[in-house]
Amino acid sequence: MVEHDALSVTREGYDAAAHIYAQRFRDELHDRPLDRAILSAFAEVVCASGDGQVADLGCGPGHITAHLDALGLSVFGVDASSAMIESARHAYPDLRFDTGSMAALNIADGALGGVLSRWSIIHTPPQELPVILAEFHRVLAPGGHLLVGFSASDDPSHPTQVFDHTVAPAYRWSPDHLAAMLRTSGLAEVARMVREPQPTDRRQFQEVQLLARKARNA
Ligand SMILES: C[S@@+](CC[C@H](N)C(=O)[O-])C[C@H]1O[C@@H](n2cnc3c(N)ncnc32)[C@H](O)[C@@H]1O
């Protein structure tokens, strides 16, 4: 019930914001060399581990899905917001985009070589995150990789902090705490990139991208 409420608020928020979000972020990678670097590394390890399909979960307007496609991955996007999915389909008609919830994915066990979740867990209330991490683990093949992007909490005494977000309630995480939750879900950290806030950033938070892997014998 709680999860349904949080997801409904997120979905409605992004339905209303889809057009403006797409306009604002569609070309963001042009000015983000570090993001391009970690996405390239993700694409490379996915290919090296067997070249399975990749899902961009919480894909928004699909610009990162399209970037991964251009890097040679077989990728599709999933998002809870139907307006986001419409926007993604319109911009990238050759790619596949489905509506769906990260907490109950319509994807078979072990079907994916990679999962990307780029700032899509930020709207999940902390008590509901284990369900989503379990879904990421379930849909990954043994040896598959997860790349998860999120904003870092800067209060060492609290693993999560609520932050002001214009679309829906949002949470930032201590990177160590999130890495420990991933480990508990069967996803071992491989690497992390921490980008310090830059003067031009709207929010003065560290941005974290954590790469994790499901064990080969899982
Ligand atoms: C901040 S946007 C990020 C979009 C995109 N990943 C990017 O990097 O720009 C968050 C997206 O995640 C989606 N989202 C949030 N929670 C979700 C959930 N539980 N299931 C599916 N999509 C979700 C929202 O609808 C929204 O499009």
Residue 2 confidence class, pLDDT cut points 50, 70, 90: very low
Which of 123, 129, 133, 167 for mutating ligand 1's site (highest number of atoms within 8 Å of CB)? Answer: 123
pTM of the model: 0.96
Domain 2-214 sits in CATH 3.40.50.150: yes
Q: Is the CB of 170 under 6 A from ligand 1?
A: no
Q: Would you place residue 3 in the very low, low, confident or very high pLDDT band (cuts 50, 70, 90)?
A: very low
Query: 133: phi > 0 → left, psi -120 to 50 → alpha, else beta; which?
Result: alpha
How many angstroms is it from 79 CA to the middle of ligand 1? Answer: 6
Name, in order, each residue with C-beta under 8 angstroms of 116's C-beta and a sequence gap of 6 or more.
Answer: 39, 42, 54, 55, 56, 57, 64, 68, 146, 147, 148
pLDDT above 70 for 4: no
Asked if the model's pLDDT at residue 5 lies above 50, the reply is yes
Output the residue whose Cα is nearest ligand 1's atom 14. 58
pLDDT tens digit sequence for 200-216: 888 899 999 999 999 98
Does residue 7's CB lie within 6 angstroms of at least one atom of ligand 1?
yes
pLDDT tens-digit readout, 111-154: 999 999 999 999 999 999 999 999 999 999 999 999 999 999 98
- pLDDT at residue number 60: 98
C-alpha 127 to ligand 1 mean position (Å): 18
Q: Which atom of ligand 1 is nearest to the CA of 7?
A: 19
Query: Is the pLDDT at 182 greater than 50, yes or no?
Result: yes
Supply the pLDDT for residue 100.
Answer: 98
pLDDT one-digit tens code per residue, 22-77? 999 999 999 999 999 999 999 999 999 987 899 999 999 999 999 999 999 999 99
pLDDT tens string 93-105: 999 999 999 999 9
**CB-based burial of residue 203 (10 Å sphere; 0-12 exposed, 13-18 middle, 19+ buried)?**
exposed
Q: For a ligand 1 pocket test, name from 86, 101, 120 the mutation site with the most ligand atoms within 8 angstroms of its C-beta.
A: 120
C-beta of 171 in contact with ligand 1 (< 6 A) = no
Q: What is the pLDDT, as a whole number, of residue 20?
A: 96
Q: Is residue 175 over pLDDT 70?
A: yes
Tell me, using a 6 A CB cutoff, whether residue 135 lines ligand 1: no
